[in-house]
Chain A
Amino acid sequence: MAGQGGSRWTPFGLGVAVALGWYVTVVAAVFVGSSGIPAAPDRDCNVIFSCMAPHEELILILIVGAPVLAGLLVCTLVVAGLLARVSRSSILIGTLSALGSLAVVGMVALVWQGAR
């Protein structure tokens, strides 16, 4: 694994794989968690998108959030590339690049909100 990877996997490549694993894990966990929550039967569902099942919400977020997701992936590659020069541990590279990318994307979103 980390630091003693096989012949084909560099710490950078394995680190990006670890970061992707984080994204998949978090999305899957939020999906599993929110699909176990019962909703009130007497909700007002006249407004569009107000009463969606968890899987419908997930699909909508993936479509609407595709640019954000793309930015997140590019950011992950850049941060992982920078970290790969410092560290040899792919788990550290992947975890820190996922956290760092989330922080960067979150800050960009805040600046975007403030600028509008």
Chain B
Amino acid sequence: MRRAGLGALLLTWLYGVPFLLVVGFVRRTSKPYMETHAQARAFGATTDTVLVTALVLNVALPAAGMLLAVLLRDAAWTRQFAWALGGMALIYLAVSLAADAATAPLIGWTPADQEPAPAVTRCIPISGGRGCPGG
């Protein structure tokens, strides 16, 4: 039971974090077609959520596993999660290299959208809506 729990924690870290990172990188490097600015912002926010979740889980899962293994006094699993902490550092290194390779920030990026800039040339009064100054 204990081994199964710790094993699930390790496997979730091993495959789950790279999975989320790849999903995030694919979205981040894509050129999605976005009708409006709001859609583009929502797309960027989802990408950020995926990437941030991956980065948080990258530290949370090995740390939790290490803590549990130490509390359970399981030497083999403690060693296993110590290696996982090394892998965590490698993943952070790889992500920071990828982040440095781009000029735009990795997290907090909004794709371009097709919404035309509103061209306000003159005030048109709308009945029951808005009035115009001086008219």
Contacts and interface: CB of A to CB of B under 8 A. Distances in A.
Q: Which secondary structure dominates chain A's binding surface?
A: helix
A1 B27 contact: no
B14 A91 contact: yes
A33 interface: yes
A34 B23 CA distance: 8
A92 B79 CA distance: 13
Q: Which secondary structure dominates chain B's binding surface?
A: helix
A29 B83 contact: no
Interface string B13-47: 01100111111111100101110000000000010
Contacts of A22: 15, 18
Contact of B34 (A4, A33, A38, A89): A38
A114 interface: no
Contact of B76 (A4, A26, A37, A39): A4
A38 B111 CA distance: 12
B25 A33 contact: yes
A37 B30 contact: yes
Given A26-B18, A33-B27, A37-B30, 19 more contacts: A1-B7, A1-B80, A2-B80, A22-B18, A29-B18, A29-B23, A32-B19, A32-B23, A33-B25, A33-B30, A36-B23, A36-B27, A36-B46, A37-B26, A37-B27, A39-B33, A41-B33, A91-B14, A92-B83
Interface of A: 1-4, 18, 21-22, 25-26, 28-30, 32-34, 36-41, 89, 91-92
